[in-house]
Amino acid sequence: MANAFTGTAAMANLVQTTYDRALEFALRKQPTFRQVADKRPVQQAMPGSSVVFEIYQDLAQAITPLNELVDPDAVAAGNPTPITVTLNEYGNSILVSNKLDLFSFTDVTAGLVNQVAWNLVDSVDLIVQNVLQTGTQVIRQNGDPATVAPTYNGGTTVGVTTASIYSSKAVRLAVAKLRNQAVHPNKGSFFTTYLSPEVSHDLRAETGDAGWRLPHSYSAADNIWAGEIGAYEGSVFIETPRVNSALTGAGGTTRVFQTYTVGQQALAEAVAEEFHTVRGPVVDKLTRFQPLGWYGVAGWSLYRPEALIRTETTSSIHSGA
Protein backbone atom coordinates (compact mmCIF):
# COMPACT_ATOMS: atom_id res chain seq x y z
CA MET A 1 0.00 0.00 0.00
CA ALA A 2 1.47 3.38 -1.02
CA ASN A 3 2.13 6.10 1.56
CA ALA A 4 -0.44 8.89 1.83
CA PHE A 5 1.32 12.24 2.18
CA THR A 6 -0.21 15.13 4.07
CA GLY A 7 0.98 18.22 2.20
CA THR A 8 -0.18 21.62 1.12
CA ALA A 9 -2.70 20.20 -1.31
CA ALA A 10 -4.33 17.95 1.30
CA MET A 11 -4.51 20.80 3.85
CA ALA A 12 -5.09 23.63 1.39
CA ASN A 13 -7.42 25.50 3.75
CA LEU A 14 -4.49 26.02 6.12
CA VAL A 15 -2.19 27.52 3.48
CA GLN A 16 -3.06 31.16 2.86
CA THR A 17 -1.48 34.21 1.24
CA THR A 18 -0.07 36.59 3.82
CA TYR A 19 0.83 40.26 3.65
CA ASP A 20 3.41 42.58 5.12
CA ARG A 21 1.31 45.09 7.04
CA ALA A 22 4.03 47.75 6.82
CA LEU A 23 3.55 49.49 3.47
CA GLU A 24 6.22 51.59 1.77
CA PHE A 25 5.52 54.80 -0.13
CA ALA A 26 6.40 55.56 -3.74
CA LEU A 27 9.83 57.01 -4.48
CA ARG A 28 9.59 60.76 -3.94
CA LYS A 29 11.46 63.73 -5.36
CA GLN A 30 12.49 66.02 -2.54
CA PRO A 31 11.05 69.57 -2.68
CA THR A 32 13.52 72.16 -3.89
CA PHE A 33 12.23 75.39 -5.34
CA ARG A 34 10.38 77.16 -2.53
CA GLN A 35 13.76 77.87 -0.92
CA VAL A 36 14.50 80.21 -3.84
CA ALA A 37 11.79 82.58 -2.54
CA ASP A 38 13.98 84.55 -0.14
CA LYS A 39 12.09 87.85 -0.45
CA ARG A 40 9.04 88.20 1.82
CA PRO A 41 6.98 91.12 3.17
CA VAL A 42 8.73 92.99 6.00
CA GLN A 43 6.16 95.63 7.00
CA GLN A 44 2.92 94.51 5.39
CA ALA A 45 0.31 97.18 5.97
CA MET A 46 -2.79 94.98 6.18
CA PRO A 47 -4.31 91.75 4.86
CA GLY A 48 -5.22 91.76 1.18
CA SER A 49 -5.71 89.72 -1.97
CA SER A 50 -2.30 90.76 -3.24
CA VAL A 51 0.90 92.23 -1.83
CA VAL A 52 2.76 95.02 -3.63
CA PHE A 53 6.50 95.32 -3.12
CA GLU A 54 8.29 98.47 -4.30
CA ILE A 55 11.91 98.86 -5.37
CA TYR A 56 13.61 102.27 -5.30
CA GLN A 57 15.33 103.43 -8.47
CA ASP A 58 18.85 104.85 -8.13
CA LEU A 59 19.63 108.37 -9.28
CA ALA A 60 21.56 108.78 -12.51
CA GLN A 61 25.30 109.17 -12.01
CA ALA A 62 26.43 112.78 -11.68
CA ILE A 63 29.79 113.09 -13.45
CA THR A 64 29.82 116.75 -14.57
CA PRO A 65 31.99 119.05 -12.40
CA LEU A 66 30.07 121.71 -10.46
CA ASN A 67 30.42 125.39 -11.24
CA GLU A 68 31.70 127.22 -8.20
CA LEU A 69 29.24 130.11 -8.67
CA VAL A 70 26.14 128.22 -9.87
CA ASP A 71 23.64 126.42 -7.69
CA PRO A 72 23.02 123.12 -9.53
CA ASP A 73 19.49 122.19 -10.49
CA ALA A 74 17.86 119.49 -8.44
CA VAL A 75 16.91 116.26 -10.15
CA ALA A 76 13.76 114.23 -9.65
CA ALA A 77 13.98 110.90 -7.91
CA GLY A 78 12.78 107.96 -9.98
CA ASN A 79 9.38 106.44 -9.41
CA PRO A 80 9.73 103.15 -7.44
CA THR A 81 9.03 99.97 -9.39
CA PRO A 82 6.05 97.96 -8.06
CA ILE A 83 6.15 94.17 -7.89
CA THR A 84 2.74 92.57 -7.29
CA VAL A 85 2.32 89.14 -5.76
CA THR A 86 -1.23 87.83 -6.13
CA LEU A 87 -2.38 85.41 -3.45
CA ASN A 88 -4.41 82.33 -4.33
CA GLU A 89 -5.99 79.48 -2.42
CA TYR A 90 -4.51 76.05 -3.02
CA GLY A 91 -5.56 72.71 -1.64
CA ASN A 92 -6.58 69.12 -2.21
CA SER A 93 -8.62 66.56 -0.28
CA ILE A 94 -9.80 62.95 -0.13
CA LEU A 95 -12.73 61.27 1.64
CA VAL A 96 -11.93 58.09 3.56
CA SER A 97 -14.78 55.69 4.24
CA ASN A 98 -15.24 54.16 7.68
CA LYS A 99 -15.58 50.72 6.11
CA LEU A 100 -12.11 50.98 4.58
CA ASP A 101 -10.69 51.92 7.98
CA LEU A 102 -12.41 48.93 9.62
CA PHE A 103 -11.57 46.32 7.00
CA SER A 104 -8.01 47.32 6.04
CA PHE A 105 -5.17 45.04 7.23
CA THR A 106 -2.99 48.11 7.96
CA ASP A 107 -3.43 51.57 9.45
CA VAL A 108 -4.72 53.02 6.20
CA THR A 109 -5.62 56.41 7.67
CA ALA A 110 -2.02 57.04 8.72
CA GLY A 111 -0.84 56.14 5.22
CA LEU A 112 -3.38 58.43 3.58
CA VAL A 113 -2.44 61.32 5.87
CA ASN A 114 1.17 60.85 4.77
CA GLN A 115 0.11 60.91 1.12
CA VAL A 116 -1.91 64.09 1.63
CA ALA A 117 1.03 65.79 3.35
CA TRP A 118 3.35 64.77 0.53
CA ASN A 119 0.86 66.00 -2.06
CA LEU A 120 1.04 69.40 -0.32
CA VAL A 121 4.82 69.86 -0.72
CA ASP A 122 4.81 68.18 -4.12
CA SER A 123 2.16 70.54 -5.48
CA VAL A 124 3.58 73.74 -3.96
CA ASP A 125 7.03 72.98 -5.35
CA LEU A 126 5.62 72.73 -8.89
CA ILE A 127 3.63 75.97 -8.45
CA VAL A 128 6.84 77.77 -7.48
CA GLN A 129 8.88 76.26 -10.31
CA ASN A 130 6.25 77.31 -12.84
CA VAL A 131 6.85 80.91 -11.73
CA LEU A 132 10.61 80.50 -12.09
CA GLN A 133 10.07 79.25 -15.63
CA THR A 134 8.55 82.61 -16.60
CA GLY A 135 11.94 84.32 -16.25
CA THR A 136 12.94 86.22 -19.38
CA GLN A 137 16.71 85.76 -19.14
CA VAL A 138 17.41 82.60 -21.10
CA ILE A 139 20.61 80.89 -22.18
CA ARG A 140 20.10 78.38 -24.98
CA GLN A 141 22.46 75.76 -26.31
CA ASN A 142 21.53 75.48 -29.98
CA GLY A 143 23.99 72.82 -31.09
CA ASP A 144 27.00 70.90 -29.82
CA PRO A 145 28.87 73.05 -27.24
CA ALA A 146 32.15 71.79 -28.70
CA THR A 147 31.48 73.89 -31.80
CA VAL A 148 28.52 76.17 -30.94
CA ALA A 149 28.66 78.65 -28.07
CA PRO A 150 25.59 79.05 -25.85
CA THR A 151 23.63 82.25 -26.49
CA TYR A 152 22.21 84.69 -23.96
CA ASN A 153 18.64 85.77 -24.85
CA GLY A 154 19.16 84.33 -28.31
CA GLY A 155 18.43 81.16 -30.19
CA THR A 156 15.17 79.28 -29.86
CA THR A 157 13.81 76.41 -27.83
CA VAL A 158 13.18 74.47 -31.06
CA GLY A 159 16.87 75.02 -31.87
CA VAL A 160 17.84 72.68 -29.01
CA THR A 161 19.00 69.48 -30.77
CA THR A 162 20.09 66.11 -29.45
CA ALA A 163 23.66 67.49 -29.41
CA SER A 164 22.74 70.55 -27.30
CA ILE A 165 24.08 69.38 -23.94
CA TYR A 166 24.98 71.39 -20.83
CA SER A 167 28.57 72.52 -20.51
CA SER A 168 30.97 74.69 -18.52
CA LYS A 169 30.49 77.37 -21.18
CA ALA A 170 26.85 77.75 -20.14
CA VAL A 171 27.81 77.89 -16.45
CA ARG A 172 30.38 80.62 -17.08
CA LEU A 173 27.96 82.62 -19.21
CA ALA A 174 25.19 82.53 -16.58
CA VAL A 175 27.51 83.56 -13.75
CA ALA A 176 29.06 86.35 -15.85
CA LYS A 177 25.64 87.81 -16.69
CA LEU A 178 24.50 87.71 -13.06
CA ARG A 179 27.70 89.37 -11.84
CA ASN A 180 27.53 92.01 -14.58
CA GLN A 181 24.00 92.92 -13.43
CA ALA A 182 25.22 93.40 -9.83
CA VAL A 183 23.16 90.44 -8.58
CA HIS A 184 24.17 89.39 -5.07
CA PRO A 185 25.19 85.73 -4.61
CA ASN A 186 22.99 83.66 -2.30
CA LYS A 187 25.47 81.01 -1.08
CA GLY A 188 28.35 82.99 0.36
CA SER A 189 30.22 84.22 -2.71
CA PHE A 190 28.47 81.71 -4.98
CA PHE A 191 25.23 81.67 -6.93
CA THR A 192 23.04 78.54 -6.90
CA THR A 193 22.24 76.35 -9.89
CA TYR A 194 19.40 73.82 -9.88
CA LEU A 195 19.71 71.16 -12.56
CA SER A 196 18.55 67.68 -13.45
CA PRO A 197 20.87 64.75 -12.63
CA GLU A 198 20.66 63.86 -16.32
CA VAL A 199 21.96 67.32 -17.21
CA SER A 200 24.58 67.14 -14.46
CA HIS A 201 25.85 63.94 -16.10
CA ASP A 202 26.97 65.90 -19.16
CA LEU A 203 28.75 68.59 -17.14
CA ARG A 204 30.68 66.01 -15.11
CA ALA A 205 31.57 64.08 -18.26
CA GLU A 206 33.44 67.05 -19.75
CA THR A 207 37.12 66.62 -20.47
CA GLY A 208 39.94 69.01 -21.24
CA ASP A 209 41.47 71.96 -19.42
CA ALA A 210 38.29 74.06 -19.58
CA GLY A 211 35.97 71.29 -18.36
CA TRP A 212 34.68 70.31 -14.94
CA ARG A 213 36.57 67.05 -14.49
CA LEU A 214 40.20 68.15 -14.76
CA PRO A 215 40.30 70.70 -11.90
CA HIS A 216 38.21 68.42 -9.68
CA SER A 217 40.61 65.53 -10.31
CA TYR A 218 43.37 67.49 -8.59
CA SER A 219 41.67 69.75 -6.04
CA ALA A 220 38.55 67.88 -4.92
CA ALA A 221 38.77 64.26 -6.04
CA ASP A 222 36.18 63.24 -3.44
CA ASN A 223 33.55 65.01 -5.55
CA ILE A 224 34.24 62.62 -8.39
CA TRP A 225 33.94 59.53 -6.21
CA ALA A 226 30.67 60.81 -4.72
CA GLY A 227 29.33 62.03 -8.05
CA GLU A 228 28.91 65.57 -6.71
CA ILE A 229 29.43 68.73 -8.74
CA GLY A 230 30.34 70.90 -5.74
CA ALA A 231 31.24 74.56 -6.25
CA TYR A 232 32.35 75.36 -9.77
CA GLU A 233 32.76 78.48 -11.92
CA GLY A 234 31.10 80.75 -9.35
CA SER A 235 28.07 78.60 -8.57
CA VAL A 236 27.12 75.76 -6.27
CA PHE A 237 24.94 73.04 -7.79
CA ILE A 238 21.85 71.27 -6.52
CA GLU A 239 20.75 68.21 -8.47
CA THR A 240 17.02 67.62 -8.50
CA PRO A 241 14.84 65.43 -10.72
CA ARG A 242 12.09 68.03 -10.25
CA VAL A 243 13.30 70.44 -12.94
CA ASN A 244 10.76 70.82 -15.74
CA SER A 245 11.49 69.18 -19.07
CA ALA A 246 9.39 68.63 -22.18
CA LEU A 247 9.61 67.54 -25.81
CA THR A 248 9.82 71.11 -27.10
CA GLY A 249 13.18 70.95 -28.89
CA ALA A 250 14.07 70.20 -32.51
CA GLY A 251 11.30 68.35 -34.35
CA GLY A 252 9.13 68.25 -31.25
CA THR A 253 10.99 65.07 -30.30
CA THR A 254 13.98 66.55 -28.46
CA ARG A 255 13.67 66.86 -24.69
CA VAL A 256 14.52 70.32 -23.34
CA PHE A 257 15.58 70.57 -19.70
CA GLN A 258 15.35 73.79 -17.68
CA THR A 259 18.36 74.68 -15.50
CA TYR A 260 18.01 77.62 -13.10
CA THR A 261 20.89 79.77 -11.85
CA VAL A 262 19.77 82.25 -9.19
CA GLY A 263 21.07 84.94 -6.85
CA GLN A 264 19.47 86.79 -3.97
CA GLN A 265 15.84 87.95 -4.19
CA ALA A 266 15.08 86.33 -7.51
CA LEU A 267 11.66 85.30 -6.21
CA ALA A 268 9.18 86.94 -3.82
CA GLU A 269 6.67 85.07 -1.68
CA ALA A 270 3.62 86.32 0.20
CA VAL A 271 1.61 84.07 2.51
CA ALA A 272 -1.80 84.77 4.02
CA GLU A 273 -2.20 81.30 5.52
CA GLU A 274 0.69 78.86 5.64
CA PHE A 275 0.17 75.48 4.02
CA HIS A 276 -0.98 72.77 6.40
CA THR A 277 -2.84 69.47 6.48
CA VAL A 278 -6.53 69.45 7.43
CA ARG A 279 -8.70 66.79 9.03
CA GLY A 280 -12.14 68.02 8.07
CA PRO A 281 -15.40 67.55 9.98
CA VAL A 282 -17.50 64.45 9.40
CA VAL A 283 -20.87 65.80 8.22
CA ASP A 284 -22.61 62.90 6.46
CA LYS A 285 -25.73 61.37 8.04
CA LEU A 286 -24.03 58.21 9.35
CA THR A 287 -20.60 59.76 10.08
CA ARG A 288 -18.89 57.36 7.70
CA PHE A 289 -16.71 59.70 5.60
CA GLN A 290 -13.60 61.39 7.02
CA PRO A 291 -12.18 64.30 4.95
CA LEU A 292 -8.39 64.54 4.81
CA GLY A 293 -6.67 67.31 2.91
CA TRP A 294 -4.33 70.26 2.79
CA TYR A 295 -4.84 73.98 2.34
CA GLY A 296 -2.94 77.25 2.10
CA VAL A 297 -3.14 80.78 0.70
CA ALA A 298 0.00 82.18 -0.89
CA GLY A 299 1.52 83.66 -4.01
CA TRP A 300 4.87 84.00 -5.78
CA SER A 301 6.29 86.40 -8.33
CA LEU A 302 9.67 87.19 -9.81
CA TYR A 303 11.07 90.01 -7.63
CA ARG A 304 14.40 90.74 -9.28
CA PRO A 305 14.15 89.13 -12.74
CA GLU A 306 17.81 89.96 -13.33
CA ALA A 307 18.71 87.53 -10.51
CA LEU A 308 17.39 84.50 -12.42
CA ILE A 309 18.81 82.89 -15.55
CA ARG A 310 17.21 79.83 -17.13
CA THR A 311 19.36 77.60 -19.33
CA GLU A 312 17.77 75.35 -21.94
CA THR A 313 19.65 72.23 -23.01
CA THR A 314 19.00 68.58 -23.62
CA SER A 315 20.73 65.59 -22.00
CA SER A 316 22.91 63.09 -23.83
CA ILE A 317 21.33 60.28 -21.80
CA HIS A 318 17.72 61.48 -22.16
CA SER A 319 17.25 63.54 -25.29
CA GLY A 320 13.95 62.00 -26.34
CA ALA A 321 10.71 60.76 -24.83
Q: Which domains does the chain have, with CATH numbers?
A: 33-56+78-131+268-302 (3.30.2400.10), 138-266+305-313 (no CATH)
What is the 3 state secondary structure string of 137-184?
CEEECCCCCCCCCCEECCCCHHHCCCCCECCHHHHHHHHHHHHHCCCC
> Which pLDDT value is given to residue 231?
87
Q: What is the separation of C-alpha 79 from the centre of its chain, rounded to a whole number of angstroms?
A: 33
Torsion, Cα of 170, 161, 33, 109 (10° steps): -150
What's the pLDDT at 2?
Answer: 87
pLDDT at 225: 45
Q: pLDDT 10s digit of each residue in the chain, 321 long?
A: 789 888 999 899 999 999 999 999 999 999 899 999 999 999 999 999 999 999 999 999 999 999 999 999 999 999 999 999 999 999 999 999 999 999 999 999 999 999 999 999 999 999 999 999 999 999 999 999 999 999 999 999 999 999 999 999 999 999 999 999 999 999 999 999 999 999 999 999 988 665 666 555 544 445 544 445 788 999 999 999 999 999 999 999 999 999 999 999 999 999 999 999 999 999 999 999 999 999 999 999 999 999 999 999 999 999 999
DSSP string for residues in 236-272: EEEE-TTS-EES-SGGGTS-EEEEEEE-TTSEEEEEE
89 phi and psi angles, rounded to 5 deg: -85, 140
CB 172 within 8 A of CB 232: no
How far are the Cα atoms of 37, 165, 202, 215 from residue 219, in angstroms, in the given order? 33, 25, 20, 6
- Half-sphere CA count of 122, side-chain side, radius 13 A: 12
Q: What pLDDT does residue 224 have?
A: 45
pLDDT at residue 213 in the model: 60
pLDDT of residue 293: 98
Find out whether 235 and 177 touch, Cβ atoms under 8 Å.
no
Question: What CA–CA distance (Å, rounded) separates 259 from 315?
Answer: 11
